Amino acid sequence: MKGKKQGPTPVKMVLVLVSVAVIFAAVLAAVNQITRPTIERNAREKL
């Protein structure tokens, strides 16, 4: 239970969470760009 060990671990966890969040956001953005045209095409075909 030393302060030195407690210091870096939360920072690493935050960095990992931030990097995962950024990657997740990038994937969602890419998926949205891919799916939006197809959804619009399907809507136009249905109309």
Domain boundaries, the chain: 3-46
User: pLDDT, tens digit, for every residue of 1-47?
Assistant: 565 666 667 889 999 999 999 999 999 999 999 888 887 888 888 77
pLDDT at 8: 66
* pTM higher than 0.85: no
pLDDT at 40: 81
Q: Distance between CA atoms of 12 and 6, rounded to whole angstroms?
A: 11
Q: Distance between CA atoms of 32 and 13, rounded to whole angstroms?
A: 28
Query: What is the dihedral angle through the alpha carbons of 4, 7, 10, 13, rounded to the nearest 10 degrees?
Result: -70
